[in-house]
Amino acid sequence: MEYPVWQLALTGGGFWVALISTLHVYVAQFAVGGGLYLTLTEISARRSGSPELLAHARAHSKFFLLLTMVFGAVTGVGIWFTIALTSPQATITLIHTFLFAWATEWTFFLGEIVALLVYFYGWDRLTARQHVTVGWLYFIFGWLSLFMINGILAFMLTPGQWLETARFWDGFFNPTFWPQLVFRTFICVMAAGLFGFVTASLMNMGEARTRQMRNCSLWTMLGLGGMLVSGWWYYHSLPPEQAMLVMFQSARVGNFMHWFMALTPVVLAGGLLLVLKLPRKPAFALSLVVLLLGLGLTGSFEFMREAARKPYLIFNHTYSNSLLKADIPAINEQGMLQRAKWVPEELRTEIDEMDDDTVSTTGQWLFQLQCASCHSLNGPLNDILPRTAPYTTQGMDAFLSGMGVMNPYMPPFAGTDSERGALAVYLTRTLHGTKTAPPPEPQPRELEMPGFDPDEDSYVLLAWARQGLRFVSDTGAWTLQPPGSTLRAQLFLRDSLPEAAGENLQVRFAVDGDYPAEGLNGVMTRVAPGTYEAKNIPAMPYRTDKSYDQYPTFTITAIDTESNETVAQTKAVLPASTRMGCMNCHGAQWKDAVNGAGIADSVAANVLAVHDRRSGTDLQARAASGTVVDCRSCHTAKQGRGNPETLNLSASMHGFHAPYLSNTGSQACANCHPDDMQRDPHKDMDITCVNCHGNMENHSIALLKAEQAEGKNVGERMARITPRDTALEDINPRRPWEQEPDCLTCHADFAAPDSDTAFNRWTPDAAALYGERSGDMEAVMCAACHGSPHATYPALENPVNPQLDNIQPIQYTGEPQTIGASQTCAVCHTESMEDAAHHPGMGLE
């Protein structure tokens, strides 16, 4: 942010740091262990009087000089060059903190250079004792260099008390200083043996060659064994959060851990195999292979060490994109573009006022500032393209919002919401051309309104959908919520005091139009006097001609079973939608691209893959074998009982996704649920999902708290969610589908509302839900007169037909209003009423 941007689109800065540093560290550790190897080999050769072994030491010293002094020095400069360009903030912090440590290390390094040059050129100029002494000096200087560099490397992983004190010694002798020093010392010993194999294998066949190959094997085994023992100490010296990241939380770290564990026995086996009396060419080839395997072994450790400090370069201080943790709040408030010094001046404007091209350019700059230090474009390391391909712009924005929380190995996005949106545009529309078109406008259709004659008709039939909109998953891979709508009806004999219909009356239902599913016609079950219900009606939004209509209407008919005559008839909508928002983050495509609906196979597979990666399950394999994964088999839902030890479906889904959708208000709901899920008059008054259910954060916490009260472990998910506009302890727990916002919270005593929020005051149980409740006259259910949840009367004009969600009010009263409102008691009563018997506030006067 304070420094110019080095644009490396193809490789990303991380590639060069990883490549150069891995090779340099491997050779540098050989430089330490190899110095000891040379000295001890020379001593052994002189004591045994072996000219062959002494010749090997002399040849090895040339190889050692060229590799460590030339290649090692060049790659060391390369590290400084790359880290200064890719991570300038972290580099300057290290220089300011450890200037004298580095000066000391350079002094030791100078001693190494001088000692090695004297050692190499002194084979014929120095006495044996002098020559061995110089060898010992080289090793001492080399190990002291390791000692100094180790303090700085360990500091970046575990700065310890330095974060509070900023004192040199607190940073240098940090919590992992000693275990890492021992661990690296053993790596040096192993590297000496591995590199020793290369030159020893070229010796002439004989006793000296056999002896030296065995010595190299001993060096390798000793170093490898010491690495494993000290590695256990090293791991247990890490702070708990970093240890968890290494072992459990990061799939990337886990991959390198697998490589480390796999290569360890292979290197061991290779070292033992080289003990055999192999000819020169096979032995040399095998020694090179084992040397490269050793590079893979130590390289996997270096990657694990780097990953263990993610998302930081200096843990808890400087993020991997060179942003200081302490600066993030100010950047979020002022904006990244306002704080970054090298951004073009024309981008320092309000993003909302930019044209599309400028927004994309802005996003590209934000990518360079926050992402390019780790990610490449079509490059060999951390390519951003496959990682962002599954997202729509909306989904990418959600992912960026959860970065650093749900993905703890990545820094949080730093900047304003508009800047985050600009980066999402660049990552999806610019890089992938992803432009998900909104679903097409629904096709208008005619509605034949049922008739009602208050002077002639003896019965009134009221019907409604138990849910204002049924959310349906239509993938063959897994089932979240299958088709299965509930239709309810109440039939009353009109009189001065109406009565519930008798047992001789039957209520039937039949879908209007041509739909492919069976079970869309039938007889409703009489569940109470005058009350009928039909469950699990497979209402779907697809007609036989493949057109999309999420508002299928049903004709409900009351029949006198004795005369087989129709006594009453009405219509009701059973809305069902397959427009689940999974595609926003899991594949960026609809199953039915024409109608913009349905869960595509690729989206379904990605959902299962993410679940497997995060939860250690095998759902993707099960789905591939033909088994339909039922989410409700593990997660208890409204329909279906799951594993009592796992979170219920609502708490699990909302609790997981909340960090991705924080601070987005009702848009969080629209990311996953269809926009027209709410069609009641509250929407016109800007009373949306969050007014009743709470914003995503608080809504999720309430669900998780109820699970916590049942003894389930919700600590990890709760820790990721920050309550909004209220304290954590003030959020009341609630059980989904049983405890919901209560209408009487705002409409106290059925009066006009005195509040615009019902959040945090839940119904006590399922019997008190709006959909199950009756008024003071217990025979009449609330929904019979007020309509379906989320589509209560007077419902908004439906895009398919303005009257579609108000069929019965219009049928019986001529107006889109609550049944019985505006003195329309004559719908059921044959005489005018003076008292509001159903509940107070009916406004009969």
Residue 816 has pLDDT above 90, yes or no: yes
3 state SS of 565: strand
User: Which residue, 361, 321, 325, is CA-closest to 345?
Assistant: 361
Residue 278 has pLDDT above 90, yes or no: no
Model pLDDT for residues 543-583, shown as the tens digit of each residue: 999 999 999 999 999 999 999 999 999 999 999 999 999 99
Q: Which residue's structure tokens are 């919901």?
A: 740
Does residue 206 contact residue 63 with C-beta atoms inside 8 Å?
no
Q: Which residue's structure tokens are 């495509």?
A: 589
251 band by pLDDT with thresholds 50, 70 and 90: low
Residue type, position 701, single letter: I
User: Which residue, 269, 260, 263, is CA-closest to 235?
Assistant: 260
User: Which residue, 588, 591, 582, is CA-closest to 428?
Assistant: 588
Bond before 659 cis per omega within 30 degrees: no
User: Which residue, 70, 283, 136, is CA-closest to 196?
Assistant: 283
800 band by pLDDT with thresholds 50, 70 and 90: very high
Q: Which residue has the higher pLDDT, 754 or 591?
A: 591
Residue 844 has pLDDT above 60, yes or no: no
CA distance 518 to 795: 29
CA distance 551 to 302: 58
Q: Tell me which of 148-157, 246-255, 272-281, 506-515 is least confident.
A: 246-255
Does residue 313 contact residue 320 with C-beta atoms inside 8 Å?
yes
The pLDDT value recorded for residue 353 is: 79
Does residue 399 contact residue 660 with C-beta atoms inside 8 Å?
yes
Q: Where would I find the H helices in 49-87? A: 51-65, 72-86
Model pLDDT for residues 755-768, shown as the tens digit of each residue: 889 999 999 999 99
586 band by pLDDT with thresholds 50, 70 and 90: very high
Q: Which residue has the higher pLDDT, 836 or 18?
A: 18
Does residue 144 contact residue 151 with C-beta atoms inside 8 Å?
no
Tell me what the mean pLDDT of segment 725-752 comes to: 91
Mean pLDDT taken over the chain? 92
Model pLDDT for residues 386-419, shown as the tens digit of each residue: 999 999 999 999 999 999 888 888 999 999 999 9
User: Which residue, 608, 628, 626, is CA-closest to 618?
Assistant: 608
Q: How wide is the angle at C-alpha 143 spanned by C-alphas 89 and 228, nearest 5°?
A: 85
Q: Where would I find the H helices in 276-380? A: 280-308, 328-334, 336-339, 356-370
CA distance 176 to 689: 49
User: Which residue, 16, 9, 149, is CA-closest to 82?
Assistant: 16
Burial (CB count <10 Å: 0-12, 13-18, 19+), residue 455: exposed
Q: Tell me which of 248-257, 502-511, 539-548, 793-802 is least confident.
A: 248-257
Tell me what the mean pLDDT of segment 488-499 comes to: 94
3 state SS of 470: strand
244 band by pLDDT with thresholds 50, 70 and 90: confident
Residue 845 has pLDDT above 50, yes or no: no
Burial (CB count <10 Å: 0-12, 13-18, 19+), residue 356: exposed
Residue 680 has pLDDT above 70, yes or no: yes
253 band by pLDDT with thresholds 50, 70 and 90: low
Of all residues in the chain, the percent with pLDDT exceeding 90 is 74
CA distance 701 to 450: 45
User: Which residue, 250, 265, 252, is CA-closest to 296?
Assistant: 265
CA distance 28 to 105: 13
Tell me what the mean pLDDT of segment 213-240 comes to: 93
DSSP assignment of 488-535, as one string? EEEEEE-BSS-EE--TTEEEEEEESS--S-S-SEEE-EEEETTEEEEE
The pLDDT value recorded for residue 240 is: 82
Written as six digits, the tokens of 12 are 């990303």
CA distance 311 to 349: 30
Compute φ and ψ for 555, nearest 5 degrees: -95, 125
CA distance 460 to 67: 96
User: Which residue, 334, 540, 491, is CA-closest to 419?
Assistant: 334
Tell me what the mean pLDDT of segment 671-680 comes to: 88
- What sign does the CA torsion over 245, 248, 253, 256 have? positive
Tell me what the mean pLDDT of segment 628-642 comes to: 87
- What sign does the CA torsion over 704, 709, 713, 718 have? positive
CA distance 116 to 609: 54
Model pLDDT for residues 424-449, shown as the tens digit of each residue: 999 999 999 977 777 888 889 999 99
The pLDDT value recorded for residue 352 is: 79
The pLDDT value recorded for residue 716 is: 87
Residue 28 has pLDDT above 60, yes or no: yes
The pairing of beta strand 318-319 with beta strand 565-573? unpaired
